[in-house]
Amino acid sequence: MKKILLASGCSFTDENFLSAVHPEMNCDWPKWPELLAKKLDMDYINLGQNGGGNEYIYSSLLEQILKTEDKSQIGLVIPAWTQCQRKDFSLGSTMRWTNDRIDKDGDVFSWMRRALNYCVSFQIMCERYNLEYMQVQMLSPYIDWLWGLKPRDLEIPGKFPEGFRYRYPGDAIKDNKKIVRLIDSYENRINIKKFLGWPLYHEFGGYSLQKRLIGWNNAKFKDDVVFNLINPAIENKYKTMISLKDNHPNKLGHELIAEFIYDRLG
């Protein structure tokens, strides 16, 4: 019996992702957990959910691990962490998860501390059950909020002018320095060898897979959708986005994400 790759994340992981900008588009290409599982000769469970925040990512993995009677079946666990300002909550007896894009309570410091605590708790959980894991920062946790969050894809047409961003209610430069210090305070609590993207801030080599791998420069577009990806081995990272208006990874983007993670598994 093959072992299981267990993954969770936001829309960059969601196996059933549908483009809000291009609803007519068929997006059923294999997502990175499926591609990575194939490279590792594993089966997989993809818990990714569109719009999901870090509470959902952590909780969905925790619940799946707890209900797996034979923990030795789990070969690898990967949380693909997302933006810290998202708010998750579950509803009804089925505990169906939903989310708000921006938490109405707290601020970027409390949101970032919460995100870091999920990272530490996830690590402790995996060590408790002797599970192999790799934490991945899929979306930048806080920088998009500091420098002005873009509207949702479907909010842009007709409602906001091109290039509109929400204004950060503070001093972004000063607060960025404070967040860097907050992240540094967790350095001795995180196994950084098992965290792709650490230390999360770009000043000292941190990154998110989104900003590192997913982009559109030099891609060819037709009706604003990427097409004709001739010789994808050349400058792949510039041809990995669905379109100029939808920055989610396309088929090539998911392949590159899977390769990036696979090459860094110890």
Q: Which residues pair with 136 in a beta bridge?
A: 80, 196
Q: For the whole model, what pTM was predicted?
A: 0.89
CB 20 within 8 A of CB 249: no
Distance CA 25, CA 17 (A): 11
Per the model's pLDDT, the better-predicted residue between 221 and 165 turns out to be 165
Confidence at residue 90, expressed as pLDDT on a 0 to 100 scale: 87
Give the mean model confidence (pLDDT) for residues 18-22. 91
27 SS3 class: coil
Confidence at residue 258, expressed as pLDDT on a 0 to 100 scale: 97
Confidence at residue 216, expressed as pLDDT on a 0 to 100 scale: 55
Distance CA 201, CA 266 (A): 23
Examine the pLDDT at 226 and tell me if it is beyond 70: no
Examine the pLDDT at 139 and tell me if it is beyond 60: yes
CB 232 within 8 A of CB 252: yes
Give the mean model confidence (pLDDT) for residues 2-11. 98
